[in-house]
């Protein structure tokens, strides 16, 4: 385990070392949820275009996926493992490239950003993979979003990797739950009227 941790630190320092003052503030913006609002609005448009009023059920499924991934990483894993973020690790002081003093919270394993973005990407991909061939590019967004965390010095690659795996699992689980609920509602709607005995 110590070997893995050391390799994780070395890989982090390598990736974090690729930075430029000219893009620092762009990366700082790109790591925020609000920055991607146009993408979210576009996805919501696609959802309601395909599902009409039933799009709300899809959004509930996405929300549950994100809630589950966030609770697992931020609510359970971070306080349990208590792994300091690179930005908070005294052994890396002076070696980590930070932007505007941004350090994030104290603990970083596993990445909530990675979990939430990959949960969303997985759900959306499963939802539209048979309709839009290009929908796989949603994973490029997830990758870019999570890379910003390494660039900013607040997550190790291992934090991102595990967070991404958690997110994929939660996205898949949320999608399966959505399908189950949808099928249940359709069965109720299409069920023949019962004989009232009159």
More confident residue, 197 or 154: 154
Question: What six digits make up the tokens of 36?
Answer: 């991607």
Query: pLDDT at position 195, please?
Result: 58
Tokens 């997985």 map to which residue? 122
Q: In this structure, are residues 154 and 103 in contact, taking their beta carbons and an 8 Å threshold? A: yes
- d(Cα 157, Cα 131) in Å, to the nearest integer? 33
Does the pTM surpass 0.75? The reply is yes
The distance of Cα 63 from the centroid of its chain, to the nearest Å, equals 11
CA distances to 48, 106, 139 from 55, in Å: 5, 37, 22
Instruction: For residue range 53-95, list pLDDT tens digits in order.
Output: 899 999 999 999 999 999 999 999 999 999 999 999 999 999 9
Closest Cα to residue 83, out of 105, 55, 56, 54? 105
Instruction: For residue range 172-198, list pLDDT tens digits in order.
Output: 999 999 999 999 988 888 877 665 554
């Amino acid at each position: 385990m110590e070997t893995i941790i050391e390799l994780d630190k070395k890989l982090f320092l390598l990736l974090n070392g690729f930075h430029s003052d000219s893009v620092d503030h762009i990366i700082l913006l790109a790591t925020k949820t609000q920055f991607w609002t146009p993408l979210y609005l576009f996805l919501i448009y696609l959802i309601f275009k395909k599902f009409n009023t039933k799009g709300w059920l899809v959004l509930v499924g996405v929300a549950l996926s994100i809630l589950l991934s966030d609770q697992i990483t931020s609510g359970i894993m971070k306080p349990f493992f208590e792994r300091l973020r690179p930005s908070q690790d005294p052994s890396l002081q002076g070696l980590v490239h930070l932007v505007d003093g941004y350090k994030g919270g104290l603990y970083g394993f596993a990445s909530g950003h990675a979990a939430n973005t990959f949960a969303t990407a997985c759900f959306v991909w499963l939802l539209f993979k048979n309709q839009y061939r290009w929908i796989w590019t949603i994973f490029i967004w997830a990758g870019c979003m999570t890379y910003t965390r390494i660039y900013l010095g607040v997550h190790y690659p291992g934090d991102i990797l595990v967070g991404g795996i958690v997110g994929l699992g939660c996205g898949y689980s949320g999608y399966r739950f959505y399908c189950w609920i949808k099928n249940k509602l359709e069965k109720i709607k299409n069920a023949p009227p019962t004989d009232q005995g009159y």
